């Protein structure tokens, strides 16, 4: 075989490999962009409920429930650690934030605490811009999986602004872009949502 023929075959093989990588990266970019756009509709909501359950490797558990209606918010956090339960309740009536703490040893109320409640629907696939999203898709791994009856994309190695790519795996609902589950080094987080129109 002459050298020119071998070189042509090598160029064709390399071109096919590059084309396959590019097509796969474009596919992942389209999926991520669609999920980002779907979530933007929900992030504008002013009437919803979320429940987040976090379990770490030692089986410690945190349950956070968040309610929002217009400018009123309530957060309830229950933390079970070493067979001890601590509950925190924060209520924002639109002008003041009251905090109620309860442990096995004490109950404390902080009226008009001066604190803010800052719980939002985060875009766990957020990037600086479209080019950054495209570049992050190059190494990302995306596959489909069903989690608790939700069709999800399982996304790993996507370098977003809110996650550590090499240490996390996130499960994002295919239809609305909401985070359903995440697995990081030492903890698993599960989330549920309810949205109301009125």
Q: What is the pLDDT of residues 126-144, one digit of tens each?
A: 888 999 999 999 989 999 9
- In the structure, what pLDDT confidence band is assigned to residue 161 with cuts at 50, 70 and 90? confident
Give the structural domain span for 67. Answer: 47-110
**Shared-domain flag, residues 60 and 33:** no
* pTM exceeds 0.75 for this model: yes
* Domain count within the chain: 2
Residues 45, 117: Cα–Cα separation, whole Å: 16
Please check whether residues 16 and 57 belong to one and the same domain. Answer: no
The domain boundary, picked from 110, 133, 158, lies at: 110
pLDDT digits 0-9 by tens, 55-111:
988 888 999 999 999 889 999 999 998 888 999 999 999 889 989 999 888 998 888
Confidence of residue 198 (pLDDT cuts 50, 70, 90): low
Q: Is the dihedral of CA 35, 40, 46, 52 positive or negative?
A: positive
Based on the domain organization, do 81 and 126 belong to the same domain? no
Residues 6+ apart with CB under 8 A from 156: 140, 141, 165, 168, 169, 170
- Closest to 37 (Cα-Cα) out of 176, 144, 150: 176
Give a yes or no: residue 196 inside a domain: no
- Within-domain flag for 95: yes
């Amino acid at each position: 075989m002459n050298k020119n023929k071998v070189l042509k075959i090598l160029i064709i093989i390399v071109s096919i490999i590059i084309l396959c990588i590019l097509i796969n990266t474009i596919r992942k970019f389209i999926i991520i962009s669609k999920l980002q756009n779907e979530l933007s509709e929900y992030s504008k909501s002013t009437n919803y409920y979320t429940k987040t359950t976090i379990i770490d490797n030692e089986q410690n558990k945190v349950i956070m429930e968040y309610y929002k209606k217009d400018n009123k918010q309530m957060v309830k956090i229950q933390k079970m650690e070493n067979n001890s339960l601590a509950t925190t309740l924060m209520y924002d009536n639109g002008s003041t934030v009251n905090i109620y703490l309860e442990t096995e040893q004490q109950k404390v109320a902080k009226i008009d605490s001066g604190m803010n409640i800052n719980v939002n629907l985060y875009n766990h696939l957020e990037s600086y811009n479209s080019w950054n999203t495209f570049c992050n898709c190059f190494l990302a791994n995306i596959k489909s999986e069903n989690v608790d009856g939700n069709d999800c994309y399982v996304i790993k190695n996507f370098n977003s602004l809110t996650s550590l790519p090499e240490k996390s795996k996130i499960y994002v609902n295919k239809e609305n872009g909401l985070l359903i589950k995440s697995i990081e080094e030492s903890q698993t987080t599960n989330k549920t949502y309810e949205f109301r129109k009125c």
